[in-house]
Amino acid sequence: MTRKLLALAALVTLWLPTTMIGQKELKKANKQFELKAFELAIDNYKVALQKEPGNIECIYKIAESYRLTNQPIDAIGWYRKIEKLGDVKPEYILNYAHTLKAVGKYRDAQNLYWKYQSTDPVVGEHFAQSCDFAAELLGQEENYEISLFGANTRYADFGVSFLNGKTIFNTFAYKSAVEIERGDSDIHKAGNKLVYALDYKPKYQDNIMLLRGENKEKEFVGPISYDQSGAKVAFTKNNFVNGHRYVTDMDVDLSIFLAEVEFNGDFKNDVAFPHNELGYSTGFPSLAFNGSALYFASNRPGGFGGYDLYVSYLKNGKWSSPENLGESINTAGNEITPHFDGEKLYFSSDFHHGLGGFDIFESVVENGAWSYPENMGKIINSPSDDYFFVVNKETNDYYFTSNRIGGRGQDDIYIATPKQKDLLAVNENAFVPKAVSLTDMVEPNNTNPLVETVSLKTEEVNMSEVPAAIDLDKILADKKSEEFSLADAKRVALGEVISAREIVYFVQLAAYSKHVNDIYRFKHLVKFGNIYKIYKPNSTKIRVGYYLDQTEAREVLSQIRRLGFADAFITKETLNTAEMELVYSSFEDAGSPNTNYEDSMASVNNGKYKVKLASYEDPIWFDISKVKDMGNIEQWTKGSWTIFVLSGYANLAEAQAAKRAAINRGFSDAYVVIDKGGILEKLVEN
C-alpha cells in the first residue's frame, strides 16, 4: 500500500467514529424532539453540531425547540444562523417570521411573509396583512386597566375558573405536604396541579391550597370549567410541561372528562367525554347553558386547520356529535381555550389577525350564525401568547393568561378591568371641521397644535378684535402654482373634496410588497365605498372607505368578511391624500355619467379629455360651488399639492367649452388635459 493510501485510510479511520457520534446524537435528539423533550433535544443537537457545524437540520430543530418552549429571542438567534447558511426551506421562513412577530418585530416578519408568498400566496398574504393589522392595533386607545394576579409564581400559572368565591387555577409551582416531606425539589418537571385562593384578587402566593383531596389524581389535570349551578365540571387531562406551548402539531394526548362537583370545588365520579377521539387531542372545555352545552377545541380530522372549536349538546342524557363552529370562527391555524359566558364566545387564535402568537377574540350569534371575531385589542393582547380568557361575573373583570414580557414566570395570570368611559368625553369626530365660507373666516384659534379650528363671526363678536379684511385674491394667488407639472399625480377623489386633516376609518382588504396586479377582484366592493390604493414606504395597501364613524366601518367590515374577505380589518388614521390613489369610485358606481377608473386604465391610447382647473397647497382654498354644475369634480394629489380637475366630457370639443367657462368663472390657468390610464398630460392646443 502506498504512503498516500495509508494516509487516506488513517483519515477515514479518524472520520468514521466522529461522524457516527454525530449521527448518533442527531438520531437521539430527533427522538427527543418528537417526544417534546425539547431541553434534552437542544443539548444533543448542539453535540451533533460540534461534529457537523453546517447541519441545517440541527440548527432548525434547535430554533424550533426554543420557539416551542417560549424562548423566542434564543430561537431568533438560531434562525439567523440558517439565514447566513442559505438554502432556507419555506417552513423555516414561515416559523422564523412567526417568531419575529411574537417579539413585535412586525416589519422584519412582514418581509419574510412576503417572501413566503412564492410558496403559499394565500398564507403569505394573510400573515403579511396581519403585521399591518398589528401595527394599526398598537396605535389604538387602551380600553382596559390591567394588573398581575397576586398568586403568580416563577413557574407557569394559567387557566382560571370561579366557584363559591374561590379562584381556582392551574400551577406548576405547588408542592403538597407529601412532596415536601419526600424532599421533592424539581417541582416544575412534574405536571400542573389545580389550586385555589379564597379571594378573587389575592395579593400574595401565601394561603394557596391544593384543590384535589388525597387519593385523587392531582397532576396533569386542568384547566376546568364549572357549570352555572356549580354541580358539574368539565376538565382536561393533559401532558403539559412547564414553560412549553400548550398546543403543537404533534398533540395526541389531550382528553376531556366530566365529573360531579363537591362543595369545596373538588370533583368525583370522573367520566370520559364520549367524543374524545383516539390519536387526536380534545381539550379546553367550557360548559354553558347550565351544563347542557360543551364548547371545546380539538385537532380531529374534518376541521379547517389545526385545532378548531366545536360544541356538543346534552340531550336526553347523551352528548350529541360535536358540531364545528364554522369558518367564521375556525381557520387554517389553531383556535383554542373557548369560554362562553351566555352572551359572547371568547377564544384564542394564532391565525386571525392579531398582535402576535395567540390573540384573544370575541364573537356573538347574529341571525343564527357566529359573527366574525373581533380582536379584543392591545393590553388584553400582546405580541406573545394570550389565552384562557374567562369573565368573572361577580366583579365584571376579565382573567386571562399570557407569557408576555414583564410577568413573574413562564405564564402568568392577568386581570383586566374595562375602563369607564368619561360621560363628558368629546366625541371622537368632534374635531372634524364643517364646511365654512372663506369670506366668514377669521384668524385661526389654535389651542391644540394637532387640531386646526376656526372662529366664525357671530352677532356677539367684538368687532374691534376682527383683523383687517382678508385679500382672498392674494391668498389664492400665493397658494396656486403658476406652472405645475402633472407628472406622477394620482386621483384621490371624485365628486367630493377631501381634507387631509380628518381622522377616518378604512377597511383594509389586502397588502402587497410589489405591484398590485389583481385589483379587479376588489371592484364589486365599491358598493361599500371607494376603493383606494394607499402607498406606504414598503408596501401598497388596498382599502375601502373612508368612514368618519367607527360603527359604520364595523358594519361594512362585517359585510365584506361575509363575502369571503376574511383577512379584512379596520384601520384608524389621519387622512393623508399624499398616500392615496382612488381606484374605483362609489360616486361612479352610483350612476355618474363618467365611466370608471378601470375604463380609464383600459383606454390608455385614446385617453379622456378633462379640464385641469388649479393647484393648491391646501384644498380648503378651492371653491367647488363655482364649477359644480360644469362636470364631475376630481381631486388629484402630487406630494403636498392638490390638483382639481373637471371630467365627464364625451369629446375634445366639450372639454374645450368647459375650459373656456372655467376661465370665465375665475380659473384663469385652466387648460385641457388627457387622462391616459391614470396619467394626466397637458393637451397642446394650436
Q: Does the bond joining 546 to the residue before it have cis omega, within 30 degrees of 0?
A: yes
pLDDT tens digits for 1-49? 555 555 544 444 444 444 555 577 888 999 999 888 999 999 999 999 9
Three-state DSSP state, 555: helix
Lowest pLDDT segment from 6-20, 75-89, 220-234, 352-366: 6-20
Average pLDDT value for residue range 437-445? 34
Residue type, 124: G
| Residue 567 neighbours by CB distance under 10 Å | 22
* Predicted pLDDT of residue 207: 79
What spatial distance separates the first Cα and last Cα of the chain, rounded to whole Å? 97
* Predicted pLDDT of residue 586: 77
- How far is residue 335 from each of residues 18, 43, 224, 362, 388, measured CA to CA in Å? 45, 32, 18, 12, 11
**CA neighbor of 534 nearest in space, from 563, 505, 559:** 505
Which domains does the chain show, CATH number per domain?
Answer: 144-418 (2.115.10), 438-479 (no CATH), 490-682 (3.30.70.1070)
- How far is residue 461 from each of residues 162, 434, 448, 456, 567, measured CA to CA in Å? 62, 20, 22, 9, 52
Residue 537 has pLDDT above 90, yes or no: no
Average pLDDT value for residue range 353-362? 95
Q: Which residues pair with 503 in a beta bridge?
A: 574
* Predicted pLDDT of residue 438: 31
More confident of the two residues 404 and 446: 404
What is the DSSP secondary structure assignment for residue 332, as one 8-state letter?
A: S
Lowest pLDDT segment from 316-325, 354-363, 450-459, 565-574: 450-459
Mean pLDDT of the chain: 81
Give the E-state strand segments of 82-182 in sequence order: 144-148, 157-163, 166-171
Number of H-type helices and E-type strands within the chain: 13, 36
Residue 594 has pLDDT above 60, yes or no: no
* Predicted pLDDT of residue 436: 32
* Predicted pLDDT of residue 500: 63
More confident of the two residues 449 and 378: 378
d(CA 543, CA 546): 8
**CA neighbor of 30 nearest in space, from 2, 1, 3, 55:** 55
Give percent of the chain with pLDDT exceeding 70. 81
Task: Tell whether pTM > 0.85.
Answer: no
pLDDT band at 88 (very low <50, low <70, confident <90, very high): confident
pLDDT tens digits for 381-411? 999 999 999 999 999 999 999 999 888 888 9
* Predicted pLDDT of residue 254: 96
- Check the CA dihedral 128-129-132-133 and report its sign: negative
pLDDT band at 493 (very low <50, low <70, confident <90, very high): confident
Residue 477 has pLDDT above 50, yes or no: no
d(CA 30, CA 44): 9
Average pLDDT value for residue range 614-639? 80
Give percent of the chain with pLDDT exceeding 90. 46
Average pLDDT value for residue range 128-136? 91
- Tell me, rounded to whole angstroms, the distance of Cα 517 from its chain centroid: 24
pLDDT tens digits for 94-120? 999 999 999 999 999 999 999 999 999
**CA neighbor of 579 nearest in space, from 546, 603, 611:** 546
Most confidently predicted of 56-60, 247-251, 589-593: 56-60
d(CA 669, CA 482): 8
Residue 179 has pLDDT above 90, yes or no: no
CA dihedral of residues 468, 472, 477, 480 (deg, nearest 10): 120
Residue 180 has pLDDT above 70, yes or no: no
d(CA 289, CA 370): 17
Instruction: Write b or e for each residue in 399-427: b if 16 or more Cβ atoms lie within 10 A of its Cβ, otherwise e.
Output: bbbbbbeebbbbbbbbbbeeeeeeeeeee
Average pLDDT value for residue range 292-318? 96
CB of 378 closer than 8 Å to CB of 138? yes
pLDDT band at 185 (very low <50, low <70, confident <90, very high): low
| Residue 633 neighbours by CB distance under 10 Å | 21
* Predicted pLDDT of residue 266: 95
* Predicted pLDDT of residue 441: 33
Instruction: Write b or e for each residue in 1-31: b if 16 or more Cβ atoms lie within 10 A of its Cβ, otherwise e.
Output: eeeeeeeeeeeeeeeeeeeeebeebbebbbe
| Residue 289 neighbours by CB distance under 10 Å | 13
List of residues 6+ apart from 72 with CB closer than 8 A: 66, 99, 102, 103
Most confidently predicted of 91-95, 475-479, 618-622: 91-95
**H/E run at residue 615:** strand 608-616
Residue 277 has pLDDT above 90, yes or no: yes
* Predicted pLDDT of residue 421: 53
pLDDT band at 123 (very low <50, low <70, confident <90, very high): very high
